[in-house]
Amino acid sequence: MAEIVLKVKNLTKKFGEFTAVDDISFFLKEGEVLGLLGPNGAGKTTTIQMLLGVMESTSGDIVYFGKQFKKHREEILQLVNFSSTYISLPWHFTVLEILNIFAMLYQIPDKNKRIEKLLREFELDHMVKKQFFMLSEGEKTRLLLTKSFLNYPKILLLDEPTASLDPEIAVKIRNFLKKEKREYNVSMLFTSHNMAEVEEMCDRVIIIQKGKVTIEDTPENLTKQISTCKLELKIIKDNKRVLAFFEEKEIPFRSDRHNFTIVLDERNIADFLMLLASEKIDYEEISINKPDLEDVFLDIIRREKNDEPS
Amino acid sequence: MFYWPAMDLFIWGLTGLYLATLSNNSKELIFVILNGLVFWIIIWRAQYEINVNILSEMWDKNLVNVVASPLTIWEWITSLIIVGFIKMIISLSFSAIIAFIFYQYNIFMFGLQLLPITIGLLLFGWSAGFIVAGFIVRYGIKIQTAAWTGVALIAPFSALYYPLSILPNWAQKIALVLPPSHIFEGMRDVLFKGYFPAEKLFIGFALNIPYLLLSLWFFVFMFNKSKKIGLGRLI
């Protein structure tokens, strides 16, 4: 069984009367990628700031590798690193200077070799003499990621690591992250607004709403929570008759000329198609879209707005 | 490091030369002005470098990278001091060379006392720097002008160009608790009497120690206070 490398217990952060993070508990196992999701203002950034030690918690415990973060800060941060799209690096320093500075901060023993290897991996080796402000947004993000891998981290906190990257580089980065996870058992705490990415990368997901952890599960199980799916039909002939039929049978649908979208329970698809056949309604094309993490997330946000239980 | 010290030395040095032609004590008069200009650089540069280095981390949105690294706050403080010290030495040397070339003002006239004078002023510059840095790390770039103006508040009470006795009574009381005023008074004694009174150097040092300790405590206190709200907001 994989060892727990990060344990967050009853973590709370209050700003006066406002509770930004409300008694949350979760864990991260060795080699696991845990997604931290939630709408804006849910408490994700506050949680990450506390995990990095740049914000003090009001109460609760953060335990890395079985050691209290407050008591063993330097020792722990030697094994942890992070990357965020919301931070930057010294603007007038070159790529190589920046990596050298951080390699010294993290006391990397074989720093030149490590820097060379990472520069190749992140395709930055041809721009070592470029100053940070001269890099494109994508190159800046890649340099931040390079920095985050410098110290052979055992835990990586990644706050939207592939935002602002073009799709090709984003795929490469995801593959690199997967490779590091596979080869070195790196554990990752991952936030992203790209739900497809979260689904691809994360072994487990926790959803924070109004400072509380409301859901904790695998992406697969979360998508199973929504039993409905979208059935899309392209119907060319007898559109008027089809519309009248759906209305008569009170079937919820959306239509856009020849395209009909019907949201229905997965188990009722066969019956619905048989019903269409019995009515002699012919369709040219059919596609069944199962719910993905984005649907789950949107459903949660909708329920939060309507104050419904999750 | 070079522009403002050079401009100050040219403008005020030439002004001093002009005033000297109107006075009998010509050499001492210009030396008093140059003395204030050259040695004020120590205090100003020591304070400024600490503050601007912290501000740079905020301007570059790099503060979280630094604070979330294994670097301890005392290592950070030490690095700020070292970088500031190197830049101060460069700036002081440059100003001293200009003052010597253009006005024959030689900072080595203070002999071996040059070392305790420099250290005394440097310690006070660091104290001022860490007090201002405490506010910067708490309130962020919205108070960044303090990096340029902070120590200037103390200049009128530091007896840079004039003796303490010139100050009004209430200002003299403030000046007496500031280390630079004692050091600059002592330096003027070298110019006019030919010796540096040991007691002035001693008082300067004795005052410097609590100032430095207090400023370091204040910086760490404000840093921790800021951490409660989250240092991430400062980037």
pLDDT in tens, A194-215: 888 888 899 999 999 889 998 8
Mean pLDDT computed over A122-143 = 92
Task: Name all domains of chain A by residue range, CATH numbers in brackets.
Answer: 4-218 (3.40.50.300), 227-290 (3.30.70.260)
Mean pLDDT computed over A49-53 = 95
Nearest CA in chain A to B69: A77
A213 or A221: whose pLDDT is higher?
A213
Mean pLDDT computed over A68-80 = 95
Q: Contact, A19 vs A208, CB < 8 A?
A: no
CB < 8 Å from B in window 124-163 of A? 147
**Continuous segment of H or E residues that includes residue A152:** none
Rounded to the nearest integer, the mean pLDDT of chain B is: 88
Give the list of residues 6+ apart from residue B12 with CB closer than 8 angstroms, or none: B33, B34, B37
Mark yes or no for CB contact B62/A52 under 8 Å.
no
pLDDT above 70 as % of chain B: 98
Nearest CA in chain B to A54: B231
Q: Contact, A199 vs A219, CB < 8 A?
A: yes
pLDDT in tens, B152-182: 888 889 888 888 888 899 999 999 999 999 9
Q: What is the pLDDT of residue A56?
A: 95
Q: What is the pLDDT of residue A238?
A: 78
Q: What is the pLDDT of residue B3?
A: 77
The number of C-alpha atoms within 13 Å of A300 and in the hemisphere containing its C-beta is: 23
Instruction: Report the DSSP pairing between strands A212-217 and A59-64.
Output: unpaired
CA Rg, chain A, in Å? Answer: 24
Give the list of residues 6+ apart from residue A251 with CB closer than 8 angstroms, or none: A262, A264, A272
Of B56, B59, B72, the CB nearest to A74: B72
pLDDT above 90 as % of chain A: 47
pLDDT in tens, A245-259: 888 888 888 888 788
Cα torsion angle, B156, B157, B158, B164, sign: positive
Rounded to the nearest integer, the mean pLDDT of chain A is: 88
A180 or A56: whose pLDDT is higher?
A56
Q: Contact, B222 vs B51, CB < 8 A?
A: no
| Shortest Cα distance, chain B CAs vs residue A252, angstroms | 47
Give the list of residues 6+ apart from residue A249 with CB closer than 8 angstroms, or none: A275
pLDDT of residue A292 exceeding 90 = no
| Helix and strand counts by DSSP (H, E) for chain A | 11, 14
Mark yes or no for CB contact A88/B61 under 8 Å.
yes
Cα–Cα distance measured from residue A15 to residue B150, given in angstroms and rounded to the nearest whole number: 30
Could you tell me how far CA A177 lies from the centroid of its own chain? 13
Which of these, B54, B212, B203, lies nearest to B131 by C-alpha position?
B212
- For residue A215, what are its two tokens? 């859901």
The model carries a pTM of: 0.84
Q: How confident is the model at residue B106 (pLDDT cuts 50, 70, 90)?
A: confident
Strand order in the sheet with A4-15: A18-29, A4-15, A59-64, A67-68
Alpha carbon dihedral A117, A120, A124, A125, in 10-degree steps, equals 80
Cα–Cα distance measured from residue A139 to residue A125, given in angstroms and rounded to the nearest whole number: 11
Which of these, A78, A85, A71, A21, lies nearest to A50 by C-alpha position?
A21
Mean pLDDT computed over B19-42 = 78
Lowest-confidence region among A240-249, B12-21, B212-221: B12-21
| Shortest Cα distance, chain A CAs vs residue B216, angstroms | 20
- Amino acid sitting at position A295: D
Q: What is the pLDDT of residue B69?
A: 95
Nearest CA in chain B to A107: B70
ipTM above 0.85, yes or no: no
pLDDT of residue A309 exceeding 60 = no
Q: Where are the domains of chain B?
A: 39-234
